[in-house]
Amino acid sequence: MSKKSISVLMLAVIALPVLAFAADNFVKAEIFSEEVERIIEVVNLVLALAAGVFAIKLAALAQGGTMEKTWNTLAVCSVLFVLLEVVGTLKGFEVVSIGGLGEIFEFLFVLTFVYCLYFTKKDLLNKMMR
């Protein structure tokens, strides 16, 4: 068995019981008050918006460069993250709640991010082998 397979198996063995306990509300704790959580949510939204803007500007600067595809994909990831934060903030402030929309944006964000990392690793290895 490879190290990669062992790592994935160990992660699954650790994560599955945690998810099972979380589903049953086995452990419930509050770190912050509701007012502090709302402030943090607004700060997270502002930071996500700033990160999205910076990522798009960086992708525009990298056009034609050797890492153009990576920067473009990271910009898409950033936009998906901004959408995820907007949906979460709207739900947290009870403005609009569309069941499952946050999960869709989260899935697309993670999928795009994994693709970006995979593609970039493959691209960098190809450049090193030349």
> Does the CA dihedral 14-30-34-37 come out positive or negative?
negative
What is the residue whose two structure tokens read 């990576």? 70
What pLDDT is recorded for position 49?
Answer: 95
User: Does 11 reside within a domain?
Assistant: no
What pLDDT is recorded for position 25?
Answer: 62
Q: Residue 54 is part of which domain span?
A: 32-129
User: Does 7 reside within a domain?
Assistant: no
User: Does 16 reside within a domain?
Assistant: no
Average pLDDT, stretch 95-123?
Answer: 92
What is the residue whose two structure tokens read 């798009």? 56
What Cα–Cα distance (Å) separates residue 121 from each residue in 23, 63, 110, 114, 127?
Answer: 35, 19, 16, 11, 10
User: Does 22 reside within a domain?
Assistant: no
Angstrom distance (rounded) from CA 87 to CA 18: 25
What Cα–Cα distance (Å) separates residue 98 from each residue in 49, 91, 105?
Answer: 21, 8, 12
Could you tell me the pLDDT band of residue 27, with boundaries at 50, 70 and 90?
Answer: low
What pLDDT is recorded for position 14?
Answer: 74
User: Does 27 reside within a domain?
Assistant: no
The alpha carbon torsion through 48, 107, 55, 128 (nearest 10 deg) reads 140
What is the number of domains present in the chain?
1
User: Does 78 reside within a domain?
Assistant: yes
What pLDDT is recorded for position 67?
Answer: 85
User: Does 24 reside within a domain?
Assistant: no
User: Does 1 reside within a domain?
Assistant: no
Choice between 5 and 39, residue whose per-residue pLDDT is larger: 39
